[in-house]
Structure 1
Amino acid sequence: MPVTQTETGKIWQRRTTREQWLGWLGWIVLVALFMYCWDVMNRGTMWSFVSDAPRQAADLLNRSWPPRWSYMERLWIPLWDTINIATLGTLLGIIVAVPVAFLAARNTTPSAVIVRPIALFVIVASRSINSLIWALLLVTILGPGLLAGILAIALRSIGFIGKLLYEAIEEIDETQVEAVRATGAGSMQVMDYAIVPQVLPAFAGISVFRWDINIRESTILGLVGAGGIGAQLQSSLNTLAWSQITVIFALILVTVVVSEWVSAKVRHAII
């Protein structure tokens, strides 16, 4: 707490003179960075198009309304495919993520020098690539279809579930582990009776939460040929059928809202 001595007494100051100068220097750097970013944005922006954006948006809305609700009957099967992509991809991701998480956690890994870095690399590699990029690569390798979408969701889910789960494993109460080990239990018995019961609620919540995220992500995988309702969206975009696109957007919105509600209810029931 800086205090300045004056003739009339001591005056409390929130910051020292050095801290005040550093604060001003930080603001100057921030303003300079903002100006630089603004200059970069101006170099790559055609402001004539920006000024015409309100008129273009109004024209697009006029062509999108009213929605072609009769198109809905063609969307139920793609929507079901989308839900299956999210669900099967999440399950496959869980199957791989659980052992990877136990290998990555400091208190359960068999080797902190070799095995743990490999497990952490798997988690980081999975999280560093977006599911849309995974889908694009898999469509190139496997061809278009639901399999590419399922694997793309799974590969993305491994990193998300694995990271949160191994952090939950590292945060368990070690006294319970020591108590079970003191009874003479083996390593698998310690895992079964001391570690798994503690991380099971977190694991259930993480899995449901990831499924909710995958519902949203799987709706756009069809844009790169991975099946689902995104394929119908891509087809409508190619033909500029804006009234159909409005129906697809509405159905996606309802699906995401319902999945969010289901996810919240399940997490509340589990946790």
Structure 2
Amino acid sequence: MTEITHHSQVWTYRTPKKRLLIWAGWLALVALFVWCWQVMTKDTIWIFVQDAPRQAADIGSRMMPPRWSYLPELMVPLWDTLNIATLGTIGGVILAVPVAFMAARNTSPSVTFLRPIALFIIVASRSINSLIWALLLVAIIGPGILAGIIAIALRSIGFVGKLLYEAIEETDRAQIEAIEATGASRAQVLSYGIVPQVMPAFWGISVFRWDINIRESAILGLVGAGGLGLKLQASLNVLAWPQVTMILLLILATVVLSEWVSARVRHAII
């Protein structure tokens, strides 16, 4: 008489080898986190960290109530901030359009030469923060809103250029081929086949960038590029905390309003 034994296999989501690799990965991640934490905090004075809540509460009590009488003095800096954002956005968009068309594969005059240059311009613009651009420009051309406008424009080239050239590359090829079949020139194909398709994206990107630039231009005055940031820096230097609160509230209100305007315009366009 033969005894028959059935060996049933138990299904598991991962094999033992995969589970071991996952645990090893988590262990390596924890070790990396611990090492990074030690590197970042090696010069930290922990007594100051422990005292931070008390200091924050003290400064917060000094910031209230806001100095509402200071609001009229902020109107001109607010106007400068809006001008920096608006003119900087316009300048950045004007410079970004040819860069975007050179970067897009389907419109670049030279994929091997001009396209890498255009991509480098986009990456270089996006890699440097507007505050750093402003710091460099203040050192070159002096303090004032001109440095802020140029800083915003240089920063905007990469943002607008990248999104616009991606929109150009995603255009419907069938429409372009239909225009080419009529014997249209390259300029006519560009004007009637590509530009109409990317115009909604172009306006949406431009308005979105203007909304971002409102926020960035509000702090450029910290390095001397004019606007509300200049008043903020002056108030911080003399520890006028109620004035700081007033400036922060005005910046918040401006950003909220610009966000609402940007959303409405983009909704109307797109």
Cross-structure match for 1:220: 219
Cross-structure match for 2:177: 178
Q: Deviations over 1:203-222 (max 9, x none)?
A: 11110100000000000000
What is the correspondence of 1:58-207 to structure 2 with a 5 Å cutoff? 58-207=57-206
CA distance in structure 2 between the aligned counterparts of 1:107 and 1:33, rounded to whole angstroms: 43
Q: Deviations over 1:216-252 (max 9, x none)?
A: 0000000111000111001101111001000000000
CA distance in structure 2 between the aligned counterparts of 1:62 and 1:241, rounded to whole angstroms: 12
Displacement of 1:45 in angstroms is 1.2
CA distance in structure 2 between the aligned counterparts of 1:19 and 1:202, rounded to whole angstroms: 45
Displacement of 1:7 in angstroms is 4.7
Q: In structure 1, the residue corresponding to 2:10 is in which secondary structure?
A: strand
* 6-15 vs 41-50, which moves further: 6-15
Q: In structure 1, the residue corresponding to 2:93 is in which secondary structure?
A: helix
Displacement of 1:15 in angstroms is 2.0
Q: CA RMSD in A?
A: 1.2
Give the gaps of 5 or more residues in structure 2.
none
Cross-structure match for 1:28: 27
Give the residue type in structure 1 aligned to 2:23. W
Give the gaps of 5 or more residues in structure 1.
1-5
Q: Deviations over 1:164-211 (max 9, x none)?
A: 100111111111111110111110111111111111111111101000
CA distance in structure 1 between the aligned counterparts of 2:182 and 2:17, rounded to whole angstroms: 59
Matched-pair identity in %: 70
Displacement of 1:16 in angstroms is 2.5
What is the correspondence of 1:12-23 to structure 2 with a 5 Å cutoff? 12-23=11-22
CA distance in structure 2 between the aligned counterparts of 1:183 and 1:17, rounded to whole angstroms: 64
Runs of 4+ in 1 over 6 A off after TM superposition: none
Q: In structure 1, the residue corresponding to 2:106 is in which secondary structure?
A: coil
Displacement of 1:8 in angstroms is 4.1
TM-score by length of 2: 0.96
